[in-house]
Amino acid sequence: MKVFEKKFIFIDYKSSFPLREAYAKKHKKLKEELATINDPQASVLLRLFLSNQTVPFKPNESTLLALLRSSVALVRQNALYCFDTYYGEELVSLTSHNFWLSGKVDNYKLASIREILKQEQSKVVTRFSKNVDILVVGEGTKLETLPEGLFICSTLIFTLLLEASNEDDYKKEILLKSEIDEAEESLLVETLLNANDEKLLEHLEKIEKGMVVGDTLSLLLAIYKVHPLKNIRLKAKGLLEAEQSKPTKEALAFCEARNFLNAKYTVGMEELEKIKGFQIDLFLYYLVKVQKNHLGKEYLARLDSHWTERFLEESFLLNQKKLELFSKAGKRFMVAKNIETFKVHAHSAILWQMNWLKSLEIRETKEALILPQENSLNALESLILESKEVVLAGHFGLKSLSITKCKALKIEESFSIPKVEELSFKGSSFSINELKCFLERAELPLLKSISFKGFANYKIPKDWDAFLAKRFVGIKIVC
């Protein structure tokens, strides 16, 4: 009888869980950091973090603290989640505490944290002192070990409480707006918009403290940034500086650092839009009304706002016979009846409802371009689609269909183009079988030409031209 012996093989952690070569090349400092940490467990954690796998064990605190200082953002973020899971405690309130903050708090500067905590009768320091009772750990912490005897939480929990406190402040400031009758505010805004320079200055002189909220705040900020006359800009700035509300201070601070006067572009509009209590749509409306070449019109175009609709009705800038838009067309484009030829660099549902369009070109670089099963484009003659992935569906009375730079094409059973005369598949590389199945079943009595300029040669079967010539007698084939 043969006897089997049990053997135990001990494998080095670093050998078992090596750093993937792809990450080693992409993040050159990662190997150096790993060597500096000199912790076998860090090799395991890095592999788990970088591949978004769950950490099934409680890591050593010193390892996590070291990885919170990594040069790779993904490593820091996953280390923070892991720290919160295994070492963080649940903090329920910011009130009456002395916080020791070690590391970064996303989207918050130290000054704004201090301001929020002051309202909660709390304080924050960035070094240990005998008065602190809570340690908050975030990315970039300088800690090597966790101190004993202190309540410990992560910046994940801390941030949630900061946001909740901000929300409470916002609700309190909304009460200020209720003190001003909405009709009165609307009248003031219209008065400022329609006044000539002399009258505008007179009206600005009459605005009292406490009235600079909502639409008035947005309009005054826009006047301050782009009005042609310096004395009017300075008067608007003075009114803004006299206000102490949080939205006013944040919006003014944001715009102070940016030159909107005669600007051909907009920077950071997403940040401005996030300021609670600030109406970015009116701000952009005035910006573009004064400076017709300002690209703020692109941001305004995608908003579902009264001011977007009003600008479309008042100006030909976004409502002309031939228009190219470098952002999404918002819902309010249903009033843009002057547009006949529309080129837009992002897909949106409203495009399929604009039944007066004659030519539509959509460039979608971020996601698949999926046509709806139903559309209202009864007058459409030309449709140009550019996207890596296209799904064709619905009935169209087109004369011309062009698909460019497409790598994956899908054609639904519902797709129908019985009046099409020209088909083009420029610069594409999708599987030709999907198109062949469509051409075999589709009734295309008016088709005159089909073009495959720049199409990937290896994707076209040898008998393709013969198939087309037999299926559509007399058709012009361009390759």
Contact 283, 219 (CB under 8 A): yes
Single residue among 252, 281, 316 that ends a domain in this structure = 316
Could you tell me which residues come within 8 angstroms of residue 166 by beta carbon, excluding any fewer than 6 positions away?
116, 276
Gap between the Cα atoms of 386 and 152, Å rounded = 52
**What's the pLDDT score for residue 297?**
86
Query: Is 441 contained in some domain?
Result: yes
Single residue among 149, 177, 205 that ends a domain in this structure = 177
Query: Is 78 contained in some domain?
Result: yes
CA nearest neighbour of 276 among 163, 170, 159, 165: 170
Query: Is 384 contained in some domain?
Result: yes
Contact 453, 431 (CB under 8 A): no
163 and 241, same structural domain?
no
189 and 59, same structural domain?
no
Query: Is 436 contained in some domain?
Result: yes
**pTM score:** 0.61
- Tell me the CA distances in angstroms from 116 to 94, 95, 164, 323, 385, one per residue in order: 9, 10, 10, 46, 49
CB atoms within 10 A of CB 364: 20
Gap between the Cα atoms of 137 and 316, Å rounded = 54
192 and 325, same structural domain?
no
Provide the 3-class DSSP secondary structure of residue 60: coil
CA nearest neighbour of 128 among 139, 110, 111, 143: 143
102 and 82, same structural domain?
no
Query: Is 18 contained in some domain?
Result: yes
Contact 409, 390 (CB under 8 A): yes
**What's the pLDDT score for residue 268?**
64
H or E stretch covering 278:
none
> Residue type at 368?
A
Residue reference for tokens 């907009």: 266
Query: Is 217 contained in some domain?
Result: yes
**What's the pLDDT score for residue 6?**
47
- Burial code of 170-199, b = ≥16 C-beta within 10 A, e = fewer? eeebeebbeebeeeebeebbeebeeeeeee
**What's the pLDDT score for residue 216?**
87
Report pLDDT digits (tens) over 14-40: 454 556 666 666 666 777 777 666 677
Kindly report the CA angle at 258 between 257 and 264, in degrees rounded to 5?
Answer: 170
Report pLDDT digits (tens) over 341-392: 999 999 999 999 999 999 999 999 989 999 999 999 999 999 999 999 999 9
Query: Is 1 contained in some domain?
Result: no
Single residue among 282, 316, 350 that ends a domain in this structure = 316
CA nearest neighbour of 370 among 408, 337, 335: 408
115 and 33, same structural domain?
no
140 and 222, same structural domain?
no
Per-residue pLDDT of the chain (479 residues; tens, 9 = 90+): 445 454 444 444 445 455 666 666 666 677 777 766 667 788 788 778 877 777 888 998 988 998 898 888 888 998 999 999 899 998 888 999 999 999 999 888 898 899 889 888 999 999 888 889 999 999 999 999 999 889 999 999 898 888 888 766 655 554 445 454 566 778 888 999 999 999 999 999 988 777 777 788 889 999 998 898 999 999 999 998 888 778 888 888 888 777 665 454 455 677 777 787 788 899 999 988 888 766 688 889 999 999 999 999 998 999 999 999 998 999 999 999 999 999 999 999 999 999 999 999 999 998 999 999 999 999 999 999 999 999 999 999 999 999 999 999 999 999 999 999 999 999 999 999 999 999 999 999 999 999 999 998 888 888 898 999 999 999 999 88
Contacts of range 31-34, beta carbons closer than 8 Å, 24 or more positions apart: 33/66, 33/70, 33/71
Gap between the Cα atoms of 400 and 380, Å rounded = 9
Where residue 387 sits, what CATH number does that domain have?
3.80.10.10
Strands 400-404 and 369-370: unpaired
Domain that holds residue 416: 319-479
| Domain count along the chain | 4
Cα distance from N-terminal residue to C-terminal residue, the chain? 75
Task: For residue 215, give both structure tokens.
Answer: 């639409």
Query: Is 92 contained in some domain?
Result: no
What dihedral do alpha carbons 118, 121, 124, 128 form, nearest 10°?
160
70 and 118, same structural domain?
no
Strands 98-102 and 408-411: unpaired
H or E stretch covering 193:
helix 182-194
Residue reference for tokens 């805004």: 189
Kindly report the CA angle at 132 between 127 and 137, in degrees rounded to 5?
Answer: 60
